[in-house]
Chain A
Amino acid sequence: MRMFRSVTIGQHIPGDSIIHRLDPRTKILSAILLIVLLFVVNGFAGYGLVALAIALVVRASRIPGKFVLRGIRPLMMILILTLALHLFMTDGRVIFQFFFLKVTWEGLVRGLLMGTRLILLIMGTSMLTLTTSPMQLTDGIETLLRPGKKIGIPAHELAMMMTIALRFIPTLLEETEKIMKAQMARGADFQSGGLMQRAKSLIPLLVPLFVNAFRRADDLAIAMEARGYRGGEGRTKLRELQFQQHDLVALFLVVVFSVLVGVFF
């Protein structure tokens, strides 16, 4: 299992299911379609169908449902806020009134719709990140953006930045911990005090962190140059993405489903 610790940055869960094996581009495109679809559809019946579809995908990916639901937790506040805003701010038939706060039937419906939309959005997109390694995701984005080069989208550079970020996240986390300890050893206090006090106490942590990050970036740039890096031009890849038959089938199904649901609901 130790081998996989490497790739579980973010929330990727390695596996060998049909969903895992899909080309990252298929999954990225499907996720985009899902987002569009969720904004086109505006009714519980349509959302029900989308939920069913997502449930099928979760099932096929053999990822435990709790991992998929976990993605919702950090967004709970936003969900509640969305619901509350719609609940209280929509005019219409009043269900009950509490001083100046009115809860309307229309508000309830819209709040629930918006909430469902958000939840489906999160679940659908987390299926993408759960089943795709960051490396694959980066490759997928790079290849998809490649045609955009003509209009000035730096596809390769974006992908390179993502790769380097992923590579250095663990290093920087370790470094943060070390600097914190070193400053605490000199009596620094990161916990107590008011907001201003606390913000100020972060300076001895953030300054070295940035200085070191720049130093690393410098070193890395020289090392990359020394290894013959000169941008994406003329570069090959260890693993070229291969669009396979099952990708075509999957994409076809997703498109058909989206069109049907989009048109009829």
Chain B
Amino acid sequence: MSQAALRNVSLEIEDGELVGIIGPTGSGKSTLVQHFNGLLKPDSGKVYVDGVDLTLKDTQLRPIRQKVGMVFQYPEHQLFGETVLEDVGFGPQNIGLSDDDVVQRVQEALAYVGLDFASIKDQSPFELSGGQKRRVAIAGVLAMRPSVLILDEPTAGLDPEGREEILAEIRQLHNDGITVVLVTHSMEDVARLASRLIVMDQGAVALDGTPVEVFGQAARLKELGLGLPEITELMHELKANGLDVRTDILTVPEAEEEIIRVMGWQK
């Protein structure tokens, strides 16, 4: 497959950021993030992680992949272990940790995704519910104790409750100092979570900025076939219809205050 690769992408992600990467299907989002841990290598250009050049021939990729964890789309489709313990412990085992350490890591990772180690560790991952499978799979990546976590559409196919749980876990990870890169189609999700948005289009970076800055470019986003969070769109529409509201609004509570202010509804 030689489709929509990347063209002249230059970007830096700082420690502790929570970056959302958005863009239409085929815009190169997934290709881009697979360069972050050396699963793909650029034809030209350089990729550095923590100062290490991933494009050099003799760069050891294993430590990089331990540092930069990656959760693929529908990660539950990659489960293989006979038990949850075996599956989640796969990563730590590959690093060469002792059995005790592996168990320790599994315990910690399962706690992160809100699963009870004692009751779930000996179960077969294939017999869990859909939402639990997804969380076990994510734990499998967290067990490597990555300092950067990349998630490709982590909430795809989940119902609203499952989605909220995963998003809350991502926020928690970020609060604990992990750098998070979130690839998603959901404008509402990134509007609520991300501190920075990168918009990809045809293999290139189209927009890069804070959510307020990016969603301020409504016309450009529409051009790329992307929407705004519904609430932001509402503010743009209100403004277009003569109501003097701010349009840099990303959440429902913000919109609530702004409308009350503009309508003069305060008593």
Contacts and interface: CB of A to CB of B under 8 A. Distances in A.
A186 B94 contact: yes
A8 interface: no
Nearest to B1: A174
A212 B65 contact: no
B4 to A, nearest CB: 15
Interface stretch (A65-73, A130-138, A175-183, A224-232): A175-183
Interface stretch (B70-78, B159-167, B201-209, B258-266): B70-78
A186 B65 contact: yes
B62 interface: yes
A184 B90 contact: no
Given A178-B72, A204-B90, A185 B39 contact: yes
A10 interface: no
Contacts of A211: 79-80, 126
A208 B37 contact: no
Contacts of A178: 72, 77-78
Interface in B40-86: 62, 65-66, 69-70, 72, 75, 77-80
Given A204-B90, A212-B77, A185 B62 contact: no
B211 interface: no
Interface in B68-123: 69-70, 72, 75, 77-80, 90-91, 94-95
B34 interface: yes
A79 to B, nearest CB: 34
Contacts of B141: 185-186
A20 B90 CA distance: 51
Contacts of B79: 208, 211
B181 interface: no
Chain A interface helix/strand/loop/mixed: helix
B80 A207 contact: yes
Contacts of B154: none
A219 to B, nearest CB: 13
Contacts of A186: 65, 90-91, 94, 140-141, 144
Nearest to B95: A187
Interface in A138-170: none
A45 interface: no
Contact of A181 (B34, B90, B91): B34
A208 B34 contact: no
A1 interface: no
A185 B94 contact: no
A211 B72 CA distance: 17
A250 interface: no
Nearest to A205: B80
Nearest to B69: A185
B72 A182 contact: yes
Given A186-B90, A187-B62, A187-B91, 18 more contacts: A178-B78, A179-B77, A181-B34, A182-B70, A182-B72, A182-B75, A183-B78, A184-B39, A184-B65, A187-B94, A187-B95, A203-B80, A204-B78, A204-B80, A204-B90, A208-B78, A211-B126, A212-B77
Closest 9 CB pairs of A and B: A187-B94, A207-B80, A186-B91, A185-B70, A182-B78, A204-B80, A182-B72, A208-B80, A208-B78
17 contacts: A178-B77, A181-B34, A182-B75, A183-B90, A184-B65, A185-B69, A186-B65, A186-B140, A187-B66, A187-B90, A187-B94, A187-B144, A188-B94, A189-B94, A204-B90, A207-B80, A211-B80
